[in-house]
Structure 1
């Protein structure tokens, strides 16, 4: 790994009140940049003051969408350590996305060191209030100016960071979700398993319509038969049906969530094995009608665990666990957040210490 060049900001920003933090509205003093060219490979790692990026109007990211990203968090513990939760999984998944988008691979261990260095420089931005964290957004985009349809020969890998508040301001609570019956997010053979910008752009319209109708999220069905459950907005989804915990199997159109992986590991260790399989929306509706749909919850970096209190599918409304947070969802939320913030022991070695 090349030595990281550090240019410190001479105009440090005033840090926001941690009790008023929103998601992705305020950014730290610095950012990380790394360039790629076909001649030099990845080169010139540097931490510089946060600021605008200058791109040629013909930069290929604008025209052909070669852009991938990740999302992870850093936490401040009560004894003032700074921890990152499972950054190795994010670095690994970043390269999965790179492969699908024909973007050059990155050294995963170097990616972790780059992020650690940036968090260390801006460590004062990791908030102290319970439930808050520093959200970390690594991303890669094509910068070569060319209108030919092909993979670019120049890229930038960047990392920016934003202090964020507790996802649940008043404690964990269930959400209402609309099962999408018109739009399609992804198909097998496409980019559904990659964390690429276009996947999220294609989901915005359905999300807007769902919010207009009073729903917090969209539950996507498969793009071919439009009957099999895939994922919820930016989260994976789990169900407890007749005592069995099930989640859609990774099939090439579903993102392999880091929180999803953590949840499966925990549940297995608690003697609550998870079955990964194809699940139809008809099965969920039938289970609800028979009183067997006991819990449902989404998993993702932002919310960690998001209990589902109601599912709306066509003319059917399914209320789950009386619209209350289930026992398993609550235990998972408390366990994962406890590991992340250092109040519970990390017996899995998931945390990476940035500073002590």
Structure 2
């Protein structure tokens, strides 16, 4: 038995919460530290977990680490849907339509056919107007504004603790020194809950900081970069499938339904862009593309006109996907804290694939944690 079962998780997005839950289930005492808790805080550009449209469409290459993480995560989602009626995740058909018969993304077909057992190519009679090629498979759609609170509640129910860092975290190591940021313990609803004073001597730290990994003094990962995305939240409870449209000019539109009846509509991938506000021309483009390709997102009596003014837009959102050149970072290392060696496990860099790889990443991070701690016990 390991003497010290305390683990700190830094970051409270979907990967931080999923990893913290798996660590609790493995028998560790877990404390989360984060500046932002997307489950309970207002939506912000830094909290990409919350504004995201989350479904499961494999990004990984065949045989890659990301593919393994995605497969395991899909299995977990499907099991949750089957066993937990409260989980804000639902299965839906996903359709991918391409305007051009020689679109570059067709190179993904073999991978998708191998990944999804029910994958099939659509007949010409099943294609919407203007589309040359279509494919379909079963996916899961995550209602993000409900799912993150669901994870946080599950974390607290398992006995976890959470602290908001009220001043900037300079480094992972600083949590263990008198240079640590000002902290406020929080409860499941975000209120202050000063019931526990943590002992700042953990067995390990798990780094789920996403874009923050660029700035932490003892990480400084220059491979981490933002991919900006704008989304619209549209009220359209009659929309059932998840759909991605690939246009001949390279533009993309996607729509992802949520249990709430809202639909996330997007399709922008702006590498390195950190502009925090919606750009009117981008918003207009998102509206025009989705109405042209999928007029069914409009109320039935408004579809013939295909007028973007008839969209019931609930919110316009901007977020930064925490991407990493090369691959996700899932590996262990050692921090030197005033001469003491402390295990660190890194779990970040998922880009736009955070939800669809979260449970696989969490299991692997905790597996690394247990293996490394056992080797030094």
Q: TM-score, normalised by structure 1?
A: 0.23
